[in-house]
Each structure stands twice: as C-alpha cells, then as structure tokens.
Amino acid sequence: MDYRQAGVDIDAGNEVVRRIRTLARGTFTPGVLSEIGSFGGLFRLDAAGVEDPVLVSSADGVGTKLRVAFMTGEHRTIGRDLVHHCVNDILVQGAEPLFFLDYLATGRLQPDVAVQIVEGLAAACRENGCALLGGETAEMPGFYADGEYDVAGFIVGVAARSRLITGRSISPGDVLIGLRSSGLHTNGYSLARRIAFERAGLSHDSRVEELRMTVGEALLVPHRSYLPVVRPLLATGMIKGMAHITGGGITDNVPRILPDGLHAEIDRTTWDVPAIFEWLQRTGGVPPEDMLRTFNMGIGLIIACGAEDGEALLAALASGGEAGARVIGRIESGGEGVRYIAR
C-alpha cells in the first residue's frame, strides 16, 4: 500500500505549488527575500520613515461561509474574504500590511479548487500592497470530507508606535462614524444558511427578487477592505479608535475599544439597513437584538473621533471615495457596552 492509496496525492500537491508560484510572485514587494516553496518566508523590514516601528499581527478564518462556496462551486471570493478580514483587523490599530500567509486543509486535494482560492488571495494581496509570502496546503483524508476544506490566514503589518490607534483617548462627546459594509462579510453564516436553506427551503441558485440576485450570490459577496479609504487618514491624528464589525456585530465589537466607564450610543435610524439583512430577519423571524449581535447590519467599520474633527473626517472619507460614511452615534459617560436608540 502506498501514500496515494491512503488518500494523499503528493503529485497533486506539487502541481498546486507549481501553479500558485506565479500567482504569489505577482504579489511580492521589495521586502520579500524568499521564494514560494522555501521552508520559511523571508521578509526584510524597511522601517525608513516609520519611527519606532511596531509589528501588528492577526489570524482569522472565513467560517461557515465556506459551505456556500461548496454549494456554488465558486471559490475565488473566499481568498479575498480572508485577506480583507485580516487587513481590517490590523488596520483598526493603525497598521498597514506587510505580508500574508495562508493555511489550506482539505480531505482530497483538488488542484483547480486550490488555485481558485489562491487566485483570490493573490488578487486581494496585490490590491492591499501585501505580499503573499507563503503558506501550507495540507491533504488530510478521513478528516475532511471530499469536496470540503478549511482555510485560515495570517497577516503581519507595521505601524509607528506613536501612531498606534488604541481607543485609550476616547472620551465623552466623541462621535462614531460608520462605514458601509458590502454584505455579510464573513460573519453570521451559520444563522444565514439555516434561514435561507432550511427555513426558506431555497437552493443556492434560487433567485430572490428583493435581493435582485440568487441566494448564493448574495451570501458570497466578498468582505470589504477598508484600507484604501482609511490609509490616508492614519497620519492625521483625528482617529481615536476603530472597530471592525465582525462576529458579535456592533453590540460586541464597539466595546472592545472603549475605556472603562464609557458606553456607545448608536442611533439605528442614521443608516439604511441593506436588503439582505432585512430579508434574513423577516424570513427567519430573528429578534432585532440577535440581528445586531450576529450581523454587521450594513456597517462594517466604526471610527471614533472628537466631535470637532467629525466633519473634517467625513470630508476626507468622501474625497477618498467613501460617500456613504456618516455619524451613527456618540460616546457617553457611565455604563458600558452599546445602547441603541431611534430618534
């Protein structure tokens, strides 16, 4: 009995590496010193112009959004989701990405699927100025079913220590500015899938007129990167804190940046909730508080700044192409967490 009969195809793994090598090279920045296929990725940090540089890192996955990719056979958006999620996670602390690594595990390696995933990774890395430095592809028969996989991403970025954004300076009277999401991003899919495919009994290619697309298309809209519109603002000193609205929604993510003794007051009437969330809530009979703690509800990033800087920050965002940014709340003394109001 040989390794192939046990379920692991080394030749398929080598074919994947050969095909993704060109994709990865297309993301290389001047700091990359190694090739794809090395035991470790080498990156030279050029800290010129960055006073007292601090490395900022994060790791994440795509969650059960992968199930929708399995249903539809569309895997290119998954790589983009993964990179953008990780980019946003370090951006909220003031860091710009340097390099990214991925981990792909599957039961039986399908080179075409693996290449689709890496195509999405590479495209997103190029767009964010981030090198796809390396990764790991693991074939694990008997652990994952045929046609299934899991993928995780790891990112490292840099920020000047004096420009780290921690939220510590947030104070009463500060305003909260919301930036639009592109859809569900990468959170809430266990509930969304149950509503769409079990409660509503739809298939991935069922068209929902309210959404003007199929269910699969609506659920696979890629996670958005906020780096292009936020990067020009990092050096202004106007941003006191940022929250990436991921698992836990606005309810659980905004408090992560608030000093003790403060709470956020969010006005739910200040933005229009996208149709996908309204459809999920109505179809699933989901309580409003659960929607706000499960989904981003159309707001993917929240910026805290002084009230005196609010208009200038909104103007800067608009000039950078973020026309939908708006003040959605403010910081108040006492209590903790998030209080929702409707004016």
Q: Is residue 185 part of a domain?
A: yes
pLDDT, residue 2, reads 66
pLDDT, residue 5, reads 63
Q: Is residue 3 part of a domain?
A: no
Q: Is residue 1 part of a domain?
A: no
Residues 185 and 74 in one domain: no
Alpha-carbon distance of 204 to 221, in angstroms, equals 13
Residues 144 and 251 in one domain: no
pLDDT, residue 342, reads 84
Residues 211 and 181 in one domain: yes
Q: Is residue 170 part of a domain?
A: no
Residues 33 and 78 in one domain: yes
Last residue of a domain, one of 121, 142, 163: 163
Residues 146 and 42 in one domain: yes
Last residue of a domain, one of 163, 196, 229: 163
Alpha-carbon distance of 275 to 271, in angstroms, equals 12
Enter the pTM of the model. Answer: 0.94
Residues 124 and 248 in one domain: no
pLDDT, residue 6, reads 65
Residues 70 and 158 in one domain: yes
Residues 334 and 284 in one domain: yes
Q: Which residues of the chain have pLDDT under 50?
A: none
Strands 299-305, 326-333: pairing kind = unpaired
Q: Taking Cα atoms as reference points, which of 226, 234, 151 lies closest to residue 182?
A: 226
pLDDT, residue 17, reads 81
Which tokens is 228 given? 């292009």
Residue 251 belongs to domain spanning: 175-341
Total of domains in the chain: 2
Q: Is residue 169 part of a domain?
A: no
Residues 142 and 84 in one domain: yes
Q: Taking Cα atoms as reference points, which of 273, 270, 174, 181 lies closest to residue 224?
A: 181
Alpha-carbon distance of 252 to 275, in angstroms, equals 23
Q: Is residue 5 part of a domain?
A: no
Last residue of a domain, one of 108, 130, 163: 163
CB 166 within 8 A of CB 241: yes
Which tokens is 132 given? 């796809």
CATH of the domain at 273: 3.90.650.10
CB 239 within 8 A of CB 233: yes
Distances (CA, A) of 161 to 49, 60, 196, 318: 12, 24, 45, 28
Residues 307 and 217 in one domain: yes
Q: Is 228 exposed, middle or buried (0-12, 13-18, 19+ CB in 10 A)?
A: middle
CATH of the domain at 120: 3.30.1330.10
Alpha-carbon distance of 157 to 56, in angstroms, equals 5
The secondary structure of 24-86 as a DSSP string is HHTT--TTB-S-TTSSS--B----TT-SSEEEEEEEEE-TTHHHHHHHHT--HHHHHHHHHHH
pLDDT, residue 1, reads 72
pLDDT, residue 7, reads 67
The secondary structure of 215-278 as a DSSP string is HHHHHTPPPPP-HHHHGGGTTTS-EEEEEE--TTHHHHHGGGGPPTTEEEEEETTSSPPPHHHH
pLDDT, residue 24, reads 92
Question: For the chain, how many residues are written?
Answer: 343
Residues 36 and 124 in one domain: yes
Residues 6+ apart with CB under 8 A from 248: 187, 293
Q: Is residue 4 part of a domain?
A: no
Residues 335 and 310 in one domain: yes
Residue type (1 letter), 88: N
pLDDT, residue 216, reads 97
Strands 96-106, 175-180: pairing kind = unpaired
